[in-house]
Structure 1
């Protein structure tokens, strides 16, 4: 079976999920072509697993100082290029089209009357899950950005809905954890502001990953360039993570038993809803602005949660091989029965 797989490349979460799916799809013998949109072609990194891939401009959201700007997003969009990308993407040679919230693939498939399977966290919002920060614009973006005929939604909990657990790596639980080591990933915030925010906490070591690396003035703060391998090594033995409220990184952190402090992007319904879900489930803490007092309280709170998820990528690949039967209650329940939740105190 030949599959065309489109991936939203604006953030790293979609790509992380696609890496896991790629390994399982290739191992199962599928012929997969990946397309990434949403960032310049030279800004992708650690992409070897995709065995060659193509890029297009696509659409991306403009962010500034921790907030999504829909006005700047609209002004900077290139609708002529977007339409051209849709019209020039020929999907006739493919048996199946998958979109991880990637709009060029989704709309090209619709134009060519190809069925689209949507796999990703955003498709969980088609169900009754925790939702906050919603408005008419956000609702329309979520619904029409990358439409799918079959949406396979992913979330940290099922909330009584026909959705699946996250697609993540399933590494061994770390045997050694450095209690004072904190990983920070706030790519949409001013790095100098982040540095000033963290510098008072001299008893903790902060490993800050950022698109633009600056020189730290403080011995307890080090800035590092974006790197999948480097980030994973630091995430593995840290005690906690401070990040935006993206879905994939929080999923990996839960799998490893790391405590989470999430700062959702303002005016970004998905991230605000993710923060609400983390609080509701008791899986993490949140702050809606960069707040020194909240960070201090969180740093000295030893509570964390480990959620062990099954290999959902393997489940989905088998589902594809079986002809994509309906994901009924029994199918979904069987997957969630494999999830284990453990409270941790360090």
Structure 2
């Protein structure tokens, strides 16, 4: 089997999910070629698992001070480049096209009448799940940004819908946790403001990761460039994480039993909905603006939730190899029966 796999590269969550899928696809002996769009080609890192890949411009969202700007997103879009990339994409000889909310791959396949399998969190919004911050623009983005003929939606809970758990690595539960170690990943916020808000909490050690780290003058605040290995090492033994409300990082944190404080991007329906789901499920805390009092309350909270998810990537690869039969109620129920949720005292 030969698969062309397009991945939205704007945030690291899509790439993280693709890394897990790549490992299982390669293990199954499937020939897969990856394409990433949404960021400059020199901004990708730790990409060895893909065994080579294409990088194109694609479409991305413009963010400023923790908020999505649809006007600047439209102004930054390069429709001529997008159409040229879409028309020049060679999909001949592939048995299946997969899109993780990646528009060039999805639209190129659609224009050639090639069926597209969509895998990702965004496809869960085709069903009745927690949804807040929606507006006509957001609805159209979800529907038309990267359309798929078959969409496999992913979420932390099924909400009574035919969706699957997250696609994440399933590492062993950390045995040694440092109770004052906090990971901070707020790449769309002003990093100087982040440091200023965290500086009074001297009893905690903060490890900030960002695409463009700024110097820290505080001994309890370390600022690091993005690194998959470095981030995973710090995430493994930290007690909690402060981040935007992206899906994949929260999924990894739940899998390892970390407490979560999520700050969703303003005007970003997916992140606002993710924050609502975390709060509804009791899986994490939420702050809609950078708020030192909320941060302080969360830092002293000694509770977390540990959710054990099965290897969804392996399940999906087997499903693809079996011809992608309809995911009926028995299939969905069997997958979710292997999910375990535990309340943890830190």
- Could you say which TM-score interval applies, normalised by the shorter chain? over 0.9
Q: Aligned ranges for residues 238-257 of structure 1 at < 5 Å?
A: 238-257=238-257
* 2:83 counterpart SS class: helix
Aligned to 1:207: 207
What does residue 132 of structure 1 align with? 132
**Post-superposition shift, 1:92?**
1.5
Shift of 1:328: 0.8
1:25 equivalent in structure 2: 25
- CA drift of 1:15 comes to 0.2
Offset at residue 326 of structure 1 (A): 0.2
What's the offset of the Cα at 1:215?
A: 1.1
Distance 1:268 1:36 in 2: 21
Task: Quote the offset at 1:61 in angstroms.
Answer: 0.2
RMSD, aligned α-carbons: 0.4
Counterparts of 1:335-346 in structure 2, within 5 Å, are: 335-346=335-346
Question: Deviation of residue 213 (structure 1)?
Answer: 1.3
**Cα distance, 1:237 vs. partner?**
0.2
Q: CA deviation at 1:79?
A: 0.3
Residue-by-residue CA offset, 1:274-293 (whole Å, 9 max, x unaligned): 00000000000000000000
Name the CA distance, whole Å, in 1 between partners of 2:343 and 2:216.
35
| Aligned pairs (5 A) from 1:107-126 | 107-126=107-126
Rounded to whole Å, the distance in 1 between the matches of 2:304 and 2:187 is 24
Name 1:220's counterpart in structure 2.
Answer: 220
After TM superposition, where is structure 1 displaced by more than 2 Å over at least 4 residues in a row? none
Aligned-residue offset at 1:155:
0.1
Counterpart CA distance in 1 for 2:221 and 2:197 is 11
Cα deviation, 1:71-101, whole Å, max 9, x if unaligned, reads 0000010000000011001112111000000
Hey, what's the Cα distance between the residues in 2 that align with 1:29 and 1:154?
24
Aligned residue for 2:283?
283
Match of 1:58 in 2: 58
Which TM-score applies when normalising by structure 1?
1.00
TM-score under structure 2 length normalisation:
1.00
Residue 207 of structure 1: SS of its match in structure 2? strand
Following superposition, the deviation at residue 305 of structure 1 comes to 0.2
Does the alignment pair 1:67 with 2:67?
yes
Task: After TM superposition, list the pairs within 5 Å mapping 1:1-346 onto structure 2.
Answer: 1-346=1-346
Q: Distance in 1 between matches of 2:215 and 2:320?
A: 48
CA distance in 2, matches of 1:185, 1:88: 36
Unaligned runs of 5+ residues in structure 1 are none
Q: How far apart are residue 102 of structure 1 and its match?
A: 0.1
Deviation at 1:214, TM superposition (A): 1.3
Q: Secondary structure at the match of 2:194?
A: helix
Per-residue deviation, residues 264-306 of structure 1 (Å, max 9, x unmatched):
0000000000000000000000000000000000000011000
- The 3-state SS of whatever aligns with 2:22 is helix
Cα deviation for residue 115 of structure 1 reads 0.2
Cα separation, 2, equivalents of 1:53 and 1:311? 24
**What displacement does 1:217 show?**
1.0
Partner deviation per Cα, 1:99-146 (whole Å, 9 max, x = no partner) = 000000000000011000000000000000000000000000010000
Which SS does the other structure have where 2:338 is aligned?
A: coil
Partner Cα separation in structure 1 for residue 192 and residue 101 of structure 2:
32
